[in-house]
């Protein structure tokens, strides 16, 4: 079974590449973030035509998450149970479902913006709510994973230059402590370093030739429980999909399971 996560940075803009990639990669389930569309605008029919069904939570702004599966979608839960609001709204940042033998969450963790910004506190609250929401499944016997854009680099080696991030979000101790607490529910980073590349980043800014210079970050993660981790046979970052015209600023992260 092949499972992937990909921040597509607008599913409408990325649709031709997405459809081609799903077919060429043989992915069974894709967790999507940053759909940037309403639920009515989501390309469910185009995905259905190539054999995938969809579950989506989106409001048309810069957030939005989805699960795309060709092995079933059952017991869909939209939103983060107990999650905090920002500006009076619970943003569309989490969706979960059972896909064949596994239970999966697609999450788009708040960016945080700046350490002094209210969005940073919201990010930490959101991560705490995520920990509480997944604890039971993480400790269970069914293969379970939380995949998505976490907007946190777990360690200094997960950014191209730690000094360049001094005083910025994504690398602070409170953010990393929140990831540690999430893993404490029974989850493991199942796509660890090293991979094919010395620095298996998953995100590169569009500006200043960041991708050609490999000035990236590893912020798209796959956290699985013990049964999920035991089934993992391979994992990789598909850097090729970050290349060329019309690419997202994130690359897909792919995991192969024997389940």
Residues with catalytic roles: 108, 149, 250
Which residues on neighbouring strands pair with residue 108, listed in sequence order?
149
**Helix/strand/coil for 234:** strand
Helix (H) or strand (E) holding 232: strand 232-237
Give the Cα separation of 96 and 197 in Å (integer).
31
Listed by start position, the domains of the chain span 2-257
Is 256 within any annotated ligand binding site?
no
Is 240 within any annotated ligand binding site?
no
> Are the CB atoms for 138 and 105 separated by under 8 Å?
no
Q: Which residues does the chain have with pLDDT short of 70? A: 192-199
pLDDT tens for residues 37-55? 999 999 999 999 999 999 9
Is 34 within any annotated ligand binding site?
yes
Q: Which two tokens stand for residue 101?
A: 């033998």
- Give me the helices (H) in 166-217, please: 173-183
Q: What is the DSSP string of 88-112?
A: TB--S-EEEEEETTEEEEEEE----
Is 214 within any annotated ligand binding site?
no
Is 63 within any annotated ligand binding site?
no
Question: CA dihedral defined by 112, 168, 162, 148, rounded to 10 degrees?
Answer: 10
Please give the pLDDT value at position 223. Answer: 98
Superfamily of domain 2-257: Endonuclease/exonuclease/phosphatase (3.60.10.10)
> Are the CB atoms for 236 and 256 separated by under 8 Å?
no
**Residue 92 neighbours by CB distance under 10 Å:** 22
pLDDT tens for residues 66-88? 999 999 999 999 999 999 999 99
Is 158 within any annotated ligand binding site?
no
To which residue do tokens 């992937």 refer?
A: 4
Please give the pLDDT value at position 38. Answer: 97
Please give the pLDDT value at position 198. Answer: 61
Pairing outcome for strands 29-33 and 188-189: unpaired
């Amino acid at each position: 079974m092949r499972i992937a996560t990909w921040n597509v940075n607008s599913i409408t803009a990325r649709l031709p590449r997405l459809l081609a990639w799903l077919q060429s990669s043989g992915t069974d389930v894709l967790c999507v973030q940053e759909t940037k569309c309403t639920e009515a605008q989501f390309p469910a029919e185009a995905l259905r035509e190539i054999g995938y069904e969809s579950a989506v939570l989106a409001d048309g702004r810069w957030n939005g998450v989805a699960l795309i599966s060709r092995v079933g979608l059952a017991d869909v839960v939209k939103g983060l149970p107990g999650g905090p609001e920002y500006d009076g709204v619970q943003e569309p940042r989490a969706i979960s479902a059972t896909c064949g033998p596994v239970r999966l969450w697609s999450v788009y963790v708040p960016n945080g913006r700046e350490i002094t910004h209210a969005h940073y506190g919201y990010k930490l609250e959101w991560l705490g709510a995520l920990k509480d929401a997944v604890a039971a499944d993480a400790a269970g016997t069914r293969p379970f994973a939380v995949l998505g854009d976490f907007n946190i680099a777990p360690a200094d080696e997960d950014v191209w230059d730690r000094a360049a991030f001094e005083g910025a979000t994504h690398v602070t101790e409170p953010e990393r402590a929140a990831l540690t607490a999430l893993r404490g529910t029974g989850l493991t980073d199942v796509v660890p370093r090293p991979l094919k590349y010395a620095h298996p980043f998953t995100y590169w800014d569009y500006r200043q030739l960041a991708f050609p210079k490999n000035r990236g970050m590893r912020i798209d993660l796959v956290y699985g429980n013990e049964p999920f981790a035991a089934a993992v046979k391979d994992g990789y970052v598909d850097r090729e999909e970050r290349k060329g015209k019309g690419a997202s600023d994130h690359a897909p992260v792919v995991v192969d399971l024997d389940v």
